[in-house]
A and B are shown apart, each in its own frame.
Chain A
Amino acid sequence: MEASSKRGSISRLIEENKRKSKYKQGMVEKSVPVFLFIMAIISIFTTIGIVITLMVETVTFFNRVPILEFITSMEWFPFFEADPQYGIAPLISGTLLVAVIAMLVAVPIGLATAIYLSEYASDRVRRIVKPILEVLAGIPTIVYGFFALTFVTPMLQKIVPDLQFFNALSPGIVVGIMIIPMIASLSEDAMGAVPRSMREGALALGSTKLEVSLKVVVPAALSGIIASFVLGISRAIGETMIVTIAGGSSPNLTFNPAETIQTMTAYIVQVSLGDASYGSTIYYSIYAVGMTLFVFTLLMNIIAQLISKRFREEY
Chain B
Amino acid sequence: MELINREKVVKRIETRLLKNTLSKWMFLLAASFGLIVLGVLLYRIFTQGIGYLDSGFFTNFASRRPEEAGIKAAIFGTIWLMIITGPVSIILGVGCAIYLELYARKNKLTRFIQMNISNLAGVPSIVFGLLGLTVFVRMMEMGRSVLAGGLTMSLLILPIIVVAAQEALRSVPKELQEASYGMGATKWQTIVRVILPAAIPGILTGGILALSRAVGETAPLIMIGALTFVAFVPESIWSGFTVMPIQIFNWTSRPQAAFHDVAAAGIIVLLFMLILMNSIAIIIRNKFSKRY
Cross-chain contact B31 with A143 (CB below 8 angstroms): no
In A1-60, the 8 Å CB interface with B consists of 25, 28-29, 32-33, 35-37, 39-44, 46-47, 49-50, 53-54, 57
Contact A147 B134 (CB under 8 A): no
Please encode chain B, from 254 to 275, with 1 for each CB lying within 8 Å of some chain A CB and 0 for all others. 0000001001100100110010
In the complex, B182 has a CB within 8 A of chain A: no
* Given known A-B contacts A41-B113, A140-B270, A147-B44, A36 and B103 have beta carbons under 8 A apart: yes
> Any chain A CB within 8 A of the CB of B179?
no
Residue of B188, B217, B270 touching A32 (CB-CB under 8 A):
B188
- B contact residues around A120 at 8 Å (CB): 24, 27-28
**Chain B residue at smallest Cβ distance from A265:** B126
Contact status A234-B96, CB under 8 Å: no
Which residues 232-250 of A sit at the B interface, judged by CB distance below 8 A?
A: 234, 237-241, 244-245
A149 within 8 A of B: yes
- A40–B95 touching, CB < 8 Å: yes
Q: Are B27 and A245 neighbours in the complex by a CB distance under 8 Å?
A: no
Q: Nearest chain-A residue to B121 (Cβ)?
A: A301
Q: In the complex, are the beta carbons of A238 and B95 less than 8 A apart?
A: no
Residues facing A in B139-183 (CB within 8 A) are 155, 158-159, 162
Q: Are B34 and A181 in contact (CB under 8 A)?
A: yes
Known: A147-B41, A298-B119. A138 touches B99 (CB 8 A): no
Interface-located stretch among B58-66, B194-202, B221-229, B283-291:
B221-229
B20 and A208 within 8 A (CB) = yes
CA distance A71 to B218 in the complex (A): 29
Q: How far is the CA of A50 from the CA of B119 in the complex (A)?
A: 12
Interface contact A301-B44, CB-CB below 8 Å: no
Q: A35-B95, A240-B218 are in contact. Are A40 and B100 (CB under 8 A)?
A: yes
Q: Tell me whether B124 is interfacial, beta carbon within 8 Å.
A: yes
Q: Is the CB of A142 within 8 A of B34?
A: no
Q: Is the CB of A132 within 8 A of B95?
A: no
Task: State which of A46, A53, A116 has its C-beta within 8 Å of the C-beta of B120.
Answer: A46
Q: Which residues of B85-136 are within 8 A (CB) of A?
A: 91-92, 95-96, 98-100, 103-104, 112-113, 115-120, 122-131, 133-135
Interface of A is mostly: helix
Residue B33 at the chain A interface, CB threshold 8 Å: yes
Q: Which residues of chain B from 9 to 42 have any CB-CB distance to chain A below 8 Å in the complex?
A: 16-17, 19-20, 23-24, 26-35, 37-38, 40-41
A73 interfacial by beta-carbon distance below 8 Å: no
Interface contact A129-B34, CB-CB below 8 Å: yes
* Smallest CB gap from B213: residue in A: A138
Judge whether B122 and A231 touch: CB under 8 Å.
Answer: yes
Contact pick for A210, options B23, B133, B263, B270, CB 8 Å: B23
Contact B98 A36 (CB under 8 A): yes
Q: Let me know if A108 is at the binding interface, CB within 8 A.
A: yes
Q: With a CB–CB cut-off of 8 A, which chain B residues contact A50?
A: 123, 127-128, 130-131
Which of A78-86, A253-261, A287-295 binds B?
Answer: A287-295
Known: A146-B252, A298-B123. A29 touches B44 (CB 8 A): no
Task: Report if A226 contacts B (CB, 8 A).
Answer: no
Q: Do residues B252 and A301 form an inter-chain contact, with CB atoms below 8 A?
A: no
Which residues from A are CB-within-8-Å of B217? 140
CB neighbours of A39 from chain B (8 A)? 91-92, 95-96, 99
A182 to chain B, nearest CB (A): 11
- State in angstroms the CA–CA spacing of A145 and B26 once bound together: 28
Interface membership of A160, Cβ < 8 A:
no
B253 at the interface (CB under 8 A from A): yes
| Residue from B124, B212, B219, B249 having most chain A Cβ neighbours under 10 A | B124
Contact partner, B20, options A147, A210, A273, Cβ 8 Å: A210
* Nearest-CB residue, chain A, relative to B134: A53
Q: Say whether, besides A44-B113, A116-B30, A298-B119, A143 and B41 are in contact (CB < 8 Å).
A: yes
Query: How far apart are the CA atoms of A29 and B115 in the complex, in Å?
Result: 27
Chain B positions within 8 Å of A93 at CB level: none
CB nearest neighbor in B for A113: B31
Interface: B248 (CB within 8 A): yes
- A106-133 vs B: 1/0 string, CB under 8 Å? 0011001101110011000000010011
Closest to A151 in B: B44
**In the complex, B55 has a CB within 8 A of chain A:** no
* Residues B119 and A301 in contact, CB atoms below 8 Å apart: yes
Choose among A54, A241, A244 the residue with the greatest number of B CB atoms under 10 Å from its CB.
A241
B27/A132 in contact, CB under 8 A: no
Are B96 and A210 in contact, with the CB atoms below 8 A? no
Closest 10 CB pairs of A and B: A238-B124, A140-B216, A39-B95, A112-B30, A116-B27, A36-B99, A240-B219, A208-B20, A301-B122, A53-B134
Please name 5 further chain A to chain B contacts, defined as beta carbons within 8 Å, in addition to the given A150-B48, A245-B249, sorted by A numbering: A39-B96, A140-B215, A142-B249, A146-B267, A211-B16
A residues with CB within 8 A of B: 25, 28-29, 32-33, 35-37, 39-44, 46-47, 49-50, 53-54, 57, 108-109, 112-113, 115-117, 120-121, 129, 132-133, 135-136, 138-143, 145-147, 149-151, 177, 180-181, 184, 208-211, 231, 234, 237-241, 244-245, 265, 268-269, 272-273, 278, 286-287, 290, 293-294, 297-298, 300-302, 305
Q: Can you name 13 A-B residue pairings with CB atoms under 8 Å? A: A36-B99, A42-B96, A49-B135, A50-B127, A54-B127, A113-B30, A136-B38, A139-B41, A142-B249, A147-B41, A181-B34, A239-B124, A240-B125
